[in-house]
Chain A
Amino acid sequence: METSFALTGKGYVIIAADTTAARSIVKMKVDEDKIKELGTHLLMAYSGEPGDTVQFAEYVERNIRLYQIRNLYPLRPPAAASWIRRSLAQSLRSRNPYSVNLLLGGYDQAENKPNLYWIDYLGSVVEVPFAAHGYGSYFALSLLDRYHDPEAPLEEGLATLKRCLDEVAKRLVVSPSKYMVKVVDKDGVREVEI
């Protein structure tokens, strides 16, 4: 089943999402990228109702790009989180709401610090040191409570993430087979192998 994790560390945010696109009980695809690069320093992992997810992610991507073109500088992560939250909150009370859950990770170049936001389909936002969506969250959050260090270097952060992925693989009946992992820090976004 769909699962995504994210955690912050010293000057970076790591986001991981599974890569399966499923329909009913069938895996249709095992190399789907569910982490969108919204800007040079902004990442968004999305999960939820198939169809809604890609549609909403692209809607966000294009709007954030438009703001950057119009205003010469990109939206900072807190402002982007607020904008996305508002879109979801408005959608919630419309005729057919998007049901998309997000993890938004970014590096704020004005204040030189990483930001991570947990966002659900209702439009709730909380800024957190680590977060997860999907069934994996029931396993990962307690592990991260124990092992997360906000000052850890990247290698340690990736090792902590690995613990979460392993735990999910071990204990969850419907665990995903493959994950995509992306990192954002002062140098921008990049994919890493795990």
Chain B
Amino acid sequence: MARRYDSRTTIFSPEGRLYQIEYAMEAISHAGTVLGVLAKDGVVLAAEKRVTGKLLDLSGAKVRGGYGGSGEKMFLLNSNVIGGVAGITSDANSLVNYARTVAQQHLLQYNDDIPVEVLAQRLCDLKQGYTQYGGLRPFGVSILYAGYDPHYQFQLYHSDPSGNYSGWKATCIGANNGTAQSLLKQEYKDDISVEQAISLVLRVMSKTMDSPTLGSEKLEFAVLTYDETAKQPKAKIYRPSEIDALLVAEGLAKKDDDAEMKS
């Protein structure tokens, strides 16, 4: 029976549900995990990459300039906001492009970086539209926004395919988000510093990911802090080599025998 109300996003089922939206959310809960933690002096994001393999050409992430990252899960949306996406990658790319345009238009109009919540709202307006106007599929993407603005300093938001958004101290989207959420709930403390948040994120990540060891080929990582000398937020999306260095420093790097097996 349910199938009768499946074909369009605009139609409620007799139980008052929108099936296409629920399916979109289901798609996200199978996607690679994205995890965010808000600290008192920054925001930390980490994500699990699903598209991996020896033959994948990753040279694009290594060129000079740019802003780091492999462009699968972490995107610089504006100089003060990093986005972590979970869901259908192609949908995400289109949303990221939209977010960047919106942010730049705000900068053009007001000569001021877009406030984080306003950016999240603008994307949610777009996402909501696709839950209502006929014949179209909703975006199969959830996004975590790690940002800074002078109104509320550091912030972490989450938005889902229905166009809802909410602010968090620590949250997780994608596969195993239940496990990660409960781990975060146990371990999160108010007034946590960025360093503590980084190790918390990595610890939770290592427990929720399918593979037992962490490495740059499966992990993306980003930190947003405030640069006191330049008086502006500083977004850093880690390059693969930097992620490996970080994992070594945190004592979560791969065992040596793994490396031996690879060679």
Is there direct touching of A and B in the complex, by C-beta distance under 8 Å?
A: yes
Interface residues of A (CB under 8 A from B): 71-73, 75-76, 78-79, 81-83, 86, 110-111
- 20 further A-B contacts with Cβ under 8 Å, apart from A71-B115, A79-B111, A82-B109, are A71-B117, A71-B118, A71-B121, A72-B117, A73-B115, A73-B151, A76-B112, A76-B150, A78-B111, A79-B110, A79-B112, A81-B111, A82-B111, A82-B112, A83-B109, A83-B110, A86-B109, A110-B150, A110-B151, A111-B150
Question: Chain B: which residue is nearest A73 at the CB level?
Answer: B151
Q: For the complex formed, measure the closest distance between the CB of A187 and the CB atoms of chain B, giving whole angstroms.
A: 20
Interface residues on B, range: 10 to 19
Cβ–Cβ < 8 Å partners of B151 in chain A:
73, 110
Question: What would 8 A/B residue contacts be, using CB atoms closer than 8 Å?
Answer: A71-B118, A71-B121, A72-B117, A75-B110, A76-B150, A79-B110, A81-B111, A110-B150
How far, in whole Å, are A71 and B125 apart by their CA atoms in the complex? 13
Question: Chain B: which residue is nearest A71 at the CB level?
Answer: B118
Interface residues in B114-152 (C-beta closer than 8 Å to A): 115, 117-118, 121, 150-151
Cβ–Cβ < 8 Å partners of B110 in chain A:
75, 79, 82-83
How far, in whole Å, are A39 and B112 apart by their CA atoms in the complex? 18
Q: For the complex formed, measure the closest distance between the CB of B64 and the CB atoms of chain A, giving whole angstroms.
A: 33
How far, in whole Å, are A111 and B151 apart by their CA atoms in the complex? 10
How far, in whole Å, are A81 and B112 apart by their CA atoms in the complex? 11
Interface residues of B (CB under 8 A from A): 109-112, 115, 117-118, 121, 150-151
How far, in whole Å, are A86 and B121 apart by their CA atoms in the complex? 24
Cβ–Cβ < 8 Å partners of A78 in chain B:
111-112
Cβ–Cβ < 8 Å partners of A73 in chain B:
115, 151
Cβ–Cβ < 8 Å partners of B118 in chain A:
71
How far, in whole Å, are A114 and B150 apart by their CA atoms in the complex? 16
How far, in whole Å, are A7 and B206 apart by their CA atoms in the complex? 58
Q: For the complex formed, measure the closest distance between the CB of B193 and the CB atoms of chain A, giving whole angstroms.
A: 23
Cβ–Cβ < 8 Å partners of A76 in chain B:
112, 150
Q: For the complex formed, measure the closest distance between the CB of A63 and the CB atoms of chain B, giving whole angstroms.
A: 11
Q: For the complex formed, measure the closest distance between the CB of A138 and the CB atoms of chain B, giving whole angstroms.
A: 30
Cβ–Cβ < 8 Å partners of A75 in chain B:
110
Nearest 6 pairs between A and B by C-beta?
Answer: A82-B111, A110-B150, A79-B110, A79-B112, A82-B110, A73-B151
Cβ–Cβ < 8 Å partners of B121 in chain A:
71
How far, in whole Å, are A86 and B105 apart by their CA atoms in the complex? 12
Cβ–Cβ < 8 Å partners of B115 in chain A:
71, 73
How far, in whole Å, are A83 and B106 apart by their CA atoms in the complex? 10
How far, in whole Å, are A81 and B117 apart by their CA atoms in the complex? 22
Cβ–Cβ < 8 Å partners of B150 in chain A:
76, 110-111
How far, in whole Å, are A57 and B98 apart by their CA atoms in the complex? 32
Q: For the complex formed, measure the closest distance between the CB of A74 and the CB atoms of chain B, giving whole angstroms.
A: 10
Q: For the complex formed, measure the closest distance between the CB of A122 and the CB atoms of chain B, giving whole angstroms.
A: 17
Q: For the complex formed, measure the closest distance between the CB of A23 and the CB atoms of chain B, giving whole angstroms.
A: 36
How far, in whole Å, are A82 and B112 apart by their CA atoms in the complex? 9
Cβ–Cβ < 8 Å partners of A71 in chain B:
115, 117-118, 121
How far, in whole Å, are A72 and B117 apart by their CA atoms in the complex? 10
How far, in whole Å, are A173 and B121 apart by their CA atoms in the complex? 55
Q: For the complex formed, measure the closest distance between the CB of B194 and the CB atoms of chain A, giving whole angstroms.
A: 22
How far, in whole Å, are A81 and B109 apart by their CA atoms in the complex? 10
Cβ–Cβ < 8 Å partners of A110 in chain B:
150-151
